A and B are shown apart, each in its own frame.
Chain A
C-alpha cells in the first residue's frame, strides 16, 4: 500500500493545526527577541513543506525500501500485527501494574507473563519462568536499591 500521499496529507493537517496553536502563544518580548513562537513555527513550517512535497511530487524512495515493501506486500501481515499488539499490550499492562501494585508485586508477575508469551508453548517451563521472575526482581533490587541507593516504584494500592 502506498502511504506517501495519505502521510503527506496527514502531515499537512498536523502542521496547520500546530501553526494555529502556536500563533495563540502571546508573550511580550524585548531586545528584538523573536519570542517562544518562532522555533515551533519553524518546525511546523518544515513539516508543512515536507507534507506538501509528499502530496504534490512523485514518490522517490530508495531501492532498498522498495524491495522491503514488495517483500512485505507478498506476505500476510495480520499474524505479525497481532503478535505486535500482544507484546505492546503486555508493556501497557506492566506500566499499569507498576503504577497500581508497585515494583515488588508487578515485576515478578509481569516478567513471568513476558517469559510465558515470548517463549511460546514449546519452550516454556513454568517453574523456570517463575524462578526467573524472582531472579530479575531481586537482581534489579540489588543494583538500584542496594548499590545505587535509588527508589524503586511503589504502587498506589500497596
Chain B
C-alpha cells in the first residue's frame, strides 16, 4: 500500500501529470488517424524518454498506448477506417451506425465500453497478476496453437457468405503470412529472390491498403461524396440509453473476459480480442441478423474487449517479462532501456515502477473518458469535412504511414497490392475479417505448431489429447461443420415430427 501511495504521489507531480495529459491526448489523436496507431506513437516517442526519470518516461509511453487503443475507434466509427487493428471489429457496426445517422450513439457506446474495459482490466491486473501468471505457465504450445486456430475458425464460420468463403479467406491469410523467413530455421519462403520479401509482409501496408485505400476507391466508385449529417446539438450523456446499457450487460462482461484473457496470452492482444468478442457477441445475440448493419451490441463487444486487453497484456509483461502484444514489447524495451528488468522479481526490486505503470494506465483511462466525452461533441465535425478534402489527406497519411516504418518505396507496391487484393476479395465475397485475423495470428500459430510437434515424440497427437487443446480444436471443428450440420438436424427433426 505504501508503494502504491508513493507511486501515486510521483504521478501527481504537476510536470508528470502534464506529461500524462498531453500524452493521452496525443495517443487519442494518433489512434484516431489511420496508420498512426498509439503503438507507432509509443515506438516513435521511446527515444524521447531516454532523458526522463523512469516513472515519467514510462508514464508517457503508457498514456500514449492507452489513449491510442481508445482513440482507434474514432476512425472506425466515423470513417469506417480503423486507426489500428484493435478497432477492426468496431468498423463492422460502428460505421454502418454512422451511415444510419447514429454516430453519436456509436461513439458514446464506444467511449463507455473503452473506459470500462481499460479501468477494470487494470484493476484486475494489479490484483491478480501473480495468480494468472502461474496459470498461463501451465499452457504449452499445443494450447496456444489450438486457441489461435479456434479463434480463426470461429471468425471464419461467422463471417458473411458461406463458411467456404470465410475459411478460404483465412487460408489466404495464413498463406500470405508464410512469405518471408520461416520461424525457428529462418528458411526464406515464397520470396522468389526478392530481398524486400525476406521479412514477410508488414501489417501496416496491409491494414492501410485494406481499409484506407480500398474504402476511398470504393466510395469514389459508388459516387459517395458525403456521409449523412449528424445532429450533435441535443446530446444527453453518452447518447446511449440505460436500456441499451442494461441489454448489453452480459455482452460487455463476456467481451471483457475475452479481452482480458486474450490480452493476457503472450503473442496475442487487442487486435485479436475485438474480433473474437465480436464473433461471440454475434453468435450469442438474439438478433444476429442486425450485426454488420449498425448494431450497437457489436460496438460494445469490440470496444470492451480491445480495451480489456490493455490490462490483460500488462500482466505477462510485468509478471513474466513476456510481452502480450507488439506495443507491450516496445514498452518492455522501454523498461529495459531505463535499467528495469521485468519479470517475477520486479515486484520486489522495483515496486514503485510496477505501481507507477498500473496507476498511469488508470489515470490515462479516466483522462480518455473525460477527453472523449467532451470531444464526442466535436468528433462528428469530422463528418462535415467534404470528401474532396478528407480523402487526399488520408491518402497522403497512408503513404507516409507505410514509408516511415521501413523507409522503402517497396511498401508503396505492397500498399497498392493490398488495396487491390481487398477490392478483389470484396468482389468475390471473400470476407476480410478472417483473412486479417489469420494473417496476424499465423506467426504465432506456426511457431507453436512446430514447437508442439518437437517437444514430444508423439507428433501431432498431443494437440488432440491434451484436454484444453483438444477442447479448443473440437470447438473449432464444431464451428466449421455446424452450418452444414444444423440444417440436416432440422430436417431430421421435421421428418420425425411429420412421421
User: Which residues of A does B touch, CB under 8 Å?
Assistant: 3, 7-8, 11, 18, 21-22, 25, 27, 29, 31-36, 38-40, 42-44, 46-47, 49-51, 53-54, 57, 59-65, 80-81, 83-84, 86-88, 91-92, 94-95, 98-99, 103, 107, 110-111, 114-115, 117-120, 123-124, 132-133, 136-137, 139-140, 144, 148, 150-153
Contacts and interface: CB of A to CB of B under 8 A. Distances in A.
Contacts of A27: 185, 187
A40 B175 contact: yes
Interface size class of B (residues with CB under 8 A): 35 or more
B44 A132 contact: no
Nearest to B216: A87
Contacts of B44: 148, 150
Given A36-B185, A87-B217, A150-B44, A60 B162 contact: yes
B313 to A, nearest CB: 24
Given A114-B395, A123-B386, A150-B44, A64 B221 contact: no
B189 A40 contact: yes
Interface of B: 44, 160-162, 164-165, 167-168, 170-172, 174-175, 178, 182, 184-185, 187, 189-190, 213, 216-218, 220-223, 225, 289, 292-293, 386-389, 391-393, 395-397, 399-400, 403-404, 407, 409, 412-413, 415-416, 419-420, 423, 427-430, 442, 445-446, 449-450, 453-454, 457, 459, 483
Contact of B419 (A63, A65, A91, A152): A91
B457 A32 contact: yes
Given A42-B174, A87-B217, A34 B450 contact: yes
Contacts of A51: 168
A88 B419 contact: yes
B450 to A, nearest CB: 6
A118 B189 contact: no
B175 A88 contact: no
A42 to B, nearest CB: 7
Contacts, number: 196
A54 B221 CA distance: 29
A94 B434 CA distance: 30
A102 to B, nearest CB: 10
Contacts of A46: 167-168, 170-171, 174
A21 B187 contact: no
A67 B79 CA distance: 24
B220 A84 contact: yes
A132 B99 CA distance: 27
A51 B393 CA distance: 40
B388 A118 contact: yes
Nearest to B178: A40
A40 B190 contact: yes
Nearest to A35: B185
B171 A150 contact: no
A83 B223 contact: yes
Contacts of B399: 94-95, 98
Given A33-B454, A148-B44, 17 more contacts: A7-B430, A29-B185, A31-B454, A33-B185, A39-B450, A40-B174, A40-B189, A47-B171, A54-B168, A62-B161, A64-B293, A65-B429, A84-B221, A95-B416, A111-B396, A118-B220, A139-B393
